[in-house]
Structure 1
Amino acid sequence: MTAGRGPTAGPTPARGGICAVVLAAGEGRRLRPLTEHLPKALCPVGNVALLDRALDRLRGLGFAGPATVAVNACYLGDQVVRHVGARAWLSVEPGDPLGTSGGLAHLRDWIDGRDVLVGNADAYLSDPALPPGPDIAALLAGWDGRTVRLLGRPAQDPAEPDTFGGHRFAGFSLLPWARVRDLPVEVSELVRTVWRPAEAAGELEVVDYRGTFLDTGTPGDYLAANLHAAGGGSLVHRTATVTGRYERAVIGAGALVRGSVGRVVVWPGGVVEAEERLTDAVRVGRTLTVAAAN
């Protein structure tokens, strides 16, 4: 296994030989009760759905439309299907979510011999030096078409069991068709079926991501991603009504804030009444408040 920044220039595989998949089928159990209202992929970060951030990043690399981009759905899948519309091929999994590996296997006929750039819908990435798309282009640049590539960030403890060459996975991977074609359509994860076997074979490469990465899997990380998207200040949607005080807040479309909020995300349509003082929390509707301190 090799690890490093990865090439930023040089030949890339022909675009016709690669497709992209955004994994958006999961239940987001660690983010409950927020994900009892929306699938995690549609939870807003900086007033933009996480899934839209992933699709925008792929569009920045030239992947757009149902011929080259697919989205899988399962948990609250009807919401994902309506949200995506005609922007991508939709793979709706029956029953419970199939996991990252099973979900990819369920798309085998659509992938149809192509290599696959796979992104997790819940990954929040931001590089101040590069716009979405170019910020992860090193995953594709100079690729030999054989190795498995992972986007990674240096781990605080390189000895952690979930690391790869001292890096933690940062939301996107590049997989050759040879590693995808025989995946079983069953509940399974790519870390077990593809990444670790490739690592054992010396065919795994980690490409450094120098920006910020958060997996948004917990309320604390979800809040942190929103505050990062706000750039140290606040984001207030133009249709929100705010008569109270706010500091380092993200306030969604149609929200009404009469009270005081600090380090708070108010979801679209959320209400904070005049007598309320919210800190380190996410407000959904009028009454649901999810504590989100790290």
Structure 2
Amino acid sequence: MTGPADPADRRPAPPAGGALCAVVLAAGEGTRLRPLTERVPKALCPVGNVPLLDRALARLAGLGLAGPATVAVNACYLGDQVVERVGDRAHLSVEPGSPLGTAGGVGKLRDWIAGRGVLVGNADAYLADPARPPGPDIAALLDGWDGETVRLLGQPAADPGAPGTFDGHVFTGFSLLPWSLVRDLPPVFGDLVRALWRPAEAAGRLSVVGYPGTFIDTGTPADYLAANLHAAGDGCLIDPAARVTGRCHRSVVGAGATVRGALTRSVVWPGATVDTSEHLRDVIRAGADLTVPAS
């Protein structure tokens, strides 16, 4: 006789509208995170020593969505790095020239989506559910879905009436879209807010599903650092392949990094160095020559 299923092992039932696939959006330039994103696309920036894209793929795998038949990743800016990182873990959609935006990126994948409902996630969204890391904690988006409405994952907004909110909530990185709306998305530049979400809201076909965990939009150096510090908890998160002989307080140190100096609330990227004379505080260090303050 078996006991009740562990919530972390729960898989969502197929939506009423039929089969489901997922798209991770990883094509953007990450301009607000420059100069870090001049070297690495935002989707591959590490949080807690794990690239954001890998976190998104792990979250989808927790829902039973994995492999190129059910998960796609789009790429454009520094796309060769994204393509190499994804490998055969997902279907790849490489956008030529400039990124097509959130709507255009999904539109370019219409032939691959091919009649399915699609769970769309932003690679740069940091979601954390301490009870079930990395969780199928977005499974509530799928529960009872009729296959015809738009659902957004969200959290209550500080100002419920502020622009960019939906039913008093801020968007937290994942949406669920029906094929009936996706099939008409053209593969040209556009965003999902204007192309699908607001029209669906006006037609009474949009709802917000609450996300009770931690959400951080990693778009700025300050928010990117905040996500890393959240991943580190109350201590330091040091990759086993890093060499740290200096002092470390509430910081994250990547693989192959060398820290001889001191760190306070900072992130040291893989392979980066911190010299003996340095005390980094509230910054991100990449390589030996780039230090980005979080303020």
Contact 2:101 2:189 in 1 (8 A): yes
Give 5+ residue unaligned stretches, structure 2.
1-9
- Quote the residue 2:110 is aligned against: 108
- Quote the residue 1:30 is aligned against: 32
1:274 to 259, 273, 276: 276
Alignment of 1:245-260 (within 5 A): 245-260=247-262
CA drift of 1:11 comes to 5.2
- Quote the residue 1:53 is aligned against: 55
Contact 1:17 1:114 in 2 (8 A): yes
CA drift of 1:233 comes to 1.4
CA drift of 1:107 comes to 0.5
> What CA distance in whole angstroms lies between the structure 2 residues aligned with 1:291 and 1:192?
34
Cα shift readout 1:119-172 (whole Å, capped 9, x = no counterpart): 000000001223334211000011111110000011111111010011000000
Helix, strand or coil for the counterpart of 2:83? helix
Letter in 2 for 1:269: G
Give 5+ residue unaligned stretches, structure 1.
1-7
- Quote the residue 2:194 is aligned against: 192
> What CA distance in whole angstroms lies between the structure 1 residues aligned with 2:157 and 2:108?
32
Letter in 2 for 1:217: G
CA drift of 1:185 comes to 1.3
Q: What is the alpha-carbon root mean square deviation over aligned residues?
A: 1.5
> What CA distance in whole angstroms lies between the structure 1 residues aligned with 2:148 and 2:98?
32
> What CA distance in whole angstroms lies between the structure 2 residues aligned with 1:284 and 1:131?
27
Letter in 2 for 1:84: V
**Equivalent pairs, count:** 286
- Quote the residue 1:206 is aligned against: 208
Cα shift readout 1:54-73 (whole Å, capped 9, x = no counterpart): 00000000001000000000
Contact 2:16 2:147 in 1 (8 A): no
> What CA distance in whole angstroms lies between the structure 1 residues aligned with 2:112 and 2:11?
29
Work out the percentage of aligned pairs sharing the same amino acid: 71
- Quote the residue 1:98 is aligned against: 100
Letter in 2 for 1:272: V
> What CA distance in whole angstroms lies between the structure 2 residues aligned with 1:11 and 1:47?
32
> What CA distance in whole angstroms lies between the structure 2 residues aligned with 1:18 and 1:73?
21
Q: Whose RCO is larger (CA < 8 A, sep 6+)?
A: 1
Alignment of 1:202-241 (within 5 A): 202-241=204-243
1:262 to 261, 264, 267: 264
Letter in 1 for 2:182: V
2:44 to 42, 45, 63: 42
Alignment of 1:70-85 (within 5 A): 70-85=72-87
Contact 2:26 2:43 in 1 (8 A): yes
Helix, strand or coil for the counterpart of 1:79? helix
Letter in 1 for 2:211: Y
Q: TM-score, normalised by structure 2?
A: 0.94
> What CA distance in whole angstroms lies between the structure 1 residues aligned with 2:111 and 2:150?
21
- Quote the residue 2:156 is aligned against: 154
Structure 1 segments of 4+ aligned residues over 6 angstroms from their partners: none
Contact 1:12 1:142 in 2 (8 A): no
User: Aligned pair in 2 of structure 1 residues 15, 262: CA closer, same or farther (>3 Å)?
Assistant: farther
